[in-house]
Amino acid sequence: MESRLLPLTARPSARRRAAPASPPQRADHAGTLPGQTGPAGAPLAALRGVGVRLGATPVLRAVDLEVGAGQAVGLVGANGSGKTTLLRVLATLLPPTSGSGTVLGASLDSRARFAVRTAIALLGHAPALYPKLTLDENLALVARLLGERPGRATQALEVAGLAGARRRRAAHCSQGMLRRAELARALLTKPRLLLLDEAHAGLDPAASGLVELLVGEVRGRGGAAVLVSHEPRRLRPLVERTVELADGRLQPAEEAGHAR
């Protein structure tokens, strides 16, 4: 039975504890399904001493991070500190040059990482929408790929406040509208791991509840979220803890002077 998309006015609390994820119905060779965790109690994402070099430049240095089921973690740092690089590692798109890690039960250096990508939603700086398609067509395509009924795409756009613009081509939409459409797509795909780069970028205050709704739904299903933001005050109510990247190293934000 498909989950119901809640209206923005419902705004579930992003701090609520999630129920344990349902056990997998059949196992693959590693004992888990794509998008499921490994052994009971294992974090959905775990990095151990991860380093990334781009050419001769070290971007991440000995990063340790764990994100468990039902958790949301905030990530802050100066421009160029490696936040987007870290999200790409968590999305299994960028293999580390040192260290190790697992995401949704798949090792970052194994072929199993390709299978879990369908359970990961990464919203980056640039919109990942087909510019010549309408917003409705963009999401309807995703719905078809997921085997969802077409009405789910329209419903997701309505939740995102885009019902009146759903027949507008993506190329003719404002940055804020495109961001809403991408959040609507994430509602539609129901990811186990949500990665938001600049979570509130392009969104007016009235749309802040959409981020809260999405994070709450992911956590409520036993998933996890990592949110990057340059606005700690907007980020803080959505997450359990905040970490900062400085000089490629990860540390609690309180140690970096973000406790205010």
> The pTM is what?
0.81
Q: Across all residues in the chain, what is the average pLDDT? A: 84
Dihedral of CA atoms 7, 69, 189, 28 in degrees, nearest 10, equals -150
Rounded mean pLDDT of 95-112? 96
Only one residue has tokens 């006015």, namely 9
Whether the pLDDT of residue 80 is over 60: the answer is yes
Which of 33-47, 150-164, 214-228, 229-243 is predicted least confidently? Answer: 33-47
pLDDT for 24 equals 35
Which of 7-21, 99-113, 201-215, 229-243 is predicted least confidently? Answer: 7-21
Residue of higher predicted confidence among 98 and 31: 98
Closest CA to 195 of 79, 61, 44: 44
Query: Where on the phi/psi map is residue 257: left (φ > 0), alpha (ψ -120 to 50), or beta?
Result: left
Q: What is the pLDDT of residues 8-31, one digit of tens each?
A: 333 333 344 434 433 333 333 333
Report how far Cα 23 is from the mean position of its chain's Cα atoms.
Answer: 22
Q: Strands 193-196 and 224-228, how do they pair?
A: parallel
Q: What is the pLDDT of residues 170-193, one digit of tens each?
A: 999 999 999 999 999 999 999 999
pLDDT for 15 equals 40
pLDDT for 233 equals 85
Separation CA 233–CA 236 (nearest Å): 5
